[in-house]
Amino acid sequence: MYRVVALLVGSLAIAAGIVTSFALRFMPPADTGYWLLPLLLVLPGCWLIGRCWGRMVAAVTFLAVSAGAYLLTAHFLPGRILWQAAGSDSVHPPPATDSSPVSGAPLEAVVLDVPDIFRQGPFRQERVLNVPPGFAVSVFAAGFKAPRFMAVGPGGDLYLSDPPTGKIFVVPDRDGNGIADRVVPFATGLGRPHGLAFHGQDLYVAAIGQLFRLRDSDGDLNSDKVETISTDVPGAGGHWTRSVVVGPDSKLYLSAGSSCNACIEDDPERAAILRFDGSGGEAEIYATGLRNSVGLAFHPRTGELWASENGRDWLGDDLPPEEINRIREGGDYGWPFCYGRRVPDPEFGSSERCRETISPEVLMQAHSAPLGIGFGFAADFPERYRDMLYVAFHGSWNRSVPTGYKLVGIPFHGGRPAGPAVDLVTGWLQGATVWGRPVDPVVGADGALYLTDDRAGAIYRITASTGK
């Protein structure tokens, strides 16, 4: 009887470990300690089996389970969302479609141009993306762990954060052939760096609990000075990303997401945008009620700050809508009490509480997960594609029909949105299979649009044959 009970309990523990390892595949890059959870479940299970059936059986069980879990989660399931059915985007509010009112024509399928050096991983097979007529997409660099945010350096080189590795990379293209010459580690050991912003020769890096300033004084593409200029930045827990931009006032604006899906925060610096002097120091709360504003960008002509906003989960497939907000100093944007255009949250909200909050400028499909944003004025694109705000949709995880996984553009005119989001690049989502997840769009010094993908571990280069 003891053997039967031990076998049952051990098997349940092992099964729980496998399920946990699978679940972690769909979480943002986490501390290494998170991955000890499956091990802490599997090891006791194997120990129980070994107590009754011998060490050899326990060892074989552990090796078989470890190998099986690795193959299952790392090779067969990373692009599958098993609880989501294939289908088209159903949207609220009305969607952008592949028949873009900007281009006046449907998107066209193009083969992703992959240099031979990058034909590995997800690029072993031919990939097809959908773009406006005259556009092309190529792989600029690949082989990263989970590339996130970028910034263009004073010399025109592209800088990239790779949070799970704790590194910042420089990816130069000095010969101008549209392919990275090399990948150079600019700084290491930064503890999940995320947002990047240049001000003069200084690179500011936003990370969990810290704000860094880096400088490459001798121009050898290696940081010779890493300075922690503030620790007044929210730490780990909940939404971990920290993004940073430099304003026209030369101050630093940093976003910190909430510690939860929906709750009343104890820390006023979470679910907020903070402002710092260029020298760092203590944070000033600039705007509140922003659950997770990952993307920040200043309009190059009006000087106004704009932010993407990821709405809460578990209100259904189409609620709440994702948002693009124009950020005002002292503004209250509603979370967790309301969403969208002052709609009270079913758990926390009331019409009275929401009355004084600021409504979003643009509403977008729920659960699209808008991350990085960037204005396109400097892009070497046809004019109708330059006065746009580019938004990277990272993609859904708790929606019955997958949505997102694409790059969209919001037309602007006179410094304000002039229409709904329209699709610019799609194709990373094929039915219920996902092979890429866009993160951050940045216009390079060459006028091309660069886009990171933390699922495929790559940077794409998007160009237009018609130019300006």
HSE-CB for 236 with a 13 A CA cutoff? 10
Q: Distance between alpha carbon 100 and the CA centroid of its chain, in Å? A: 24
- Distance between CA 296 and CA 373 in Å, rounded? 6
Domains and CATH numbers, the chain: 2-76 (no CATH), 108-464 (2.120.10.30)
Angle between helices 55-71 and 2-24 (to 10 degrees): 20
CB within 8 Å of 78: residues ≥ 6 apart? 25, 455
**DSSP summary character for residue 361:** S
The C-alpha atoms of residue 216 and residue 187 are separated, in whole angstroms, by 10
> Coil, strand, or helix at residue 75?
helix
Q: What is the pLDDT along the chain (468 residues), one digit of tens a residue?
A: 656 666 666 677 677 766 665 554 444 333 334 446 666 666 776 666 666 767 776 666 667 666 665 544 443 333 322 222 222 232 333 333 333 445 445 999 999 999 999 999 999 999 999 999 999 999 999 999 999 999 999 999 999 999 999 999 999 999 999 999 999 999 999 999 999 999 999 999 999 999 999 999 999 999 999 999 999 999 998 999 999 999 999 999 999 999 999 999 999 999 999 999 999 999 999 999 999 999 999 999 999 999 999 999 999 999 999 999 999 999 999 999 999 999 999 999 899 999 999 999 999 999 999 999 999 999 999 999 999 999 999 999 889 999 999 999 999 999 999 999 999 999 999 988 999 999 999 999 999 999 999 999 999 999 998 655
